[in-house]
Amino acid sequence: MLVENKKRNKQYSENISIKSKASKPVVENLEYENIQEDKSDHKYTNMGQVLINLNVSEANILNYSNKIVNQIIADSKDMAWNDFFYWLDARFSWVFAHSINVAVLSVMMAVKRGCKKEELECIALGGLLHDVGKLLVPASIIQKKTSLDDEQMSRVKEHCEHGMSLVEGCGLSDNCKAIIIQHHERLDGSGYPFGLKSDDIHPYAKIAMIADVLDAITSYRPYRPAKSAFKAIQIIRDEGDKFSAEYVSVIERLLGEQST
């Protein structure tokens, strides 16, 4: 399937136009028509490889969190946002793999904090969709193998607001949407898109922002190798007041010996 998707990706144009309606998201691009038929049978490329580089100390929490995330994907089949999973995986499979990891890591932290199942499901869905707005950023920027210039970086930063416009009318809860719009905010006000400070940032977004950075640092990128979880935690801690110290401690404990 991975090879198949790579072939398909070559057909994609830079001018993808995706919009959401009150009922169901619609993808408008003639070049996509020939691959929409088999969408219902689509097997996501990176399922089963979640967190493969991380040594999670509490396997039961990892397994439970994986189960919640996989169930949300399965249960989304008839939901308005389901197309976004498909398009993320088809267009940028690594972004979808990252989204799964962010969802699982976020749910793990939330389990540890005693969240209820409904809360875990909301966090899982928010994690899966947190970067959905990247579908509206040109592929040449998302897939660029070298560092981005200021203009390109500002296009990437638009993905939080793009995400909100894409999911408008999909019926997501405000708690879930908080992850999409706020996962790049930072507690000291240095984040984007609004520069919110600690008290104004939703607790779910405080969880997701750590999962997001942790997965990014521990994953391979064309312009740098993957770093260890230990190094990732160090980098996050060195950021001082940007991240919730409470949640950083939670993920540190969850990642066990490897990160201590």
In degrees rounded to 5, what are phi and psi of residue 197?
Answer: -110, 170
252 binds Fe ion per the rule CB under 5 A: no
Nearer to Fe ion, 83 or 131 (CB): 131
Longest dimension (CA), the chain: 51
Instruction: Tell me which stretch binds Fe ion (CB under 5 A): 83-91, 141-149, 205-213, 225-233.
Output: 205-213
Binding mask 107-136 for Fe ion (x = CB under 5 A): ------------------------x-----
> 134, 177, 206, 242: which is the annotated catalytic residue?
134
For the CB of residue 98, give the shortest distance to Fe ion in the complex, in Å: 6
Respond yes or no: is residue 112 known to be catalytic.
no
Nearer to Fe ion, 32 or 96 (CB): 96
How far does CA 44 lie from the centroid of its chain? Answer: 15
In degrees rounded to 5, what are phi and psi of residue 48?
Answer: 90, -10
Structure tokens at 220: 């391979």
CA distance 166 to 160: 10
CB contact at 8 A, 100 and 50: yes
Instruction: Tell me which stretch binds Fe ion (CB under 5 A): 24-32, 204-212, 225-233, 247-255.
Output: 204-212
Q: How many residues bind Fe ion (CB under 5 A)?
A: 2
**Is the bond into 193 cis (omega within 30 degrees of 0)?**
yes
Structure tokens at 113: 């904090």
Q: 3-class SS at 224? A: strand
Nearer to Fe ion, 65 or 182 (CB): 182
For the CB of residue 62, give the shortest distance to Fe ion in the complex, in Å: 20
Nearer to Fe ion, 182 or 259 (CB): 182
Nearer to Fe ion, 185 or 212 (CB): 212
212 binds Fe ion per the rule CB under 5 A: yes
Structure tokens at 206: 């405080």
Neighbours of 217 (CB within 10 A): 19
- Residues constituting the chain: 260
What kind and span of H or E run contains 168?
none
For the CB of residue 7, give the shortest distance to Fe ion in the complex, in Å: 26
For the CB of residue 104, give the shortest distance to Fe ion in the complex, in Å: 13
For the CB of residue 247, give the shortest distance to Fe ion in the complex, in Å: 16
Interface with Fe ion (CB under 5 A): 131, 212
Catalytic residues: 134
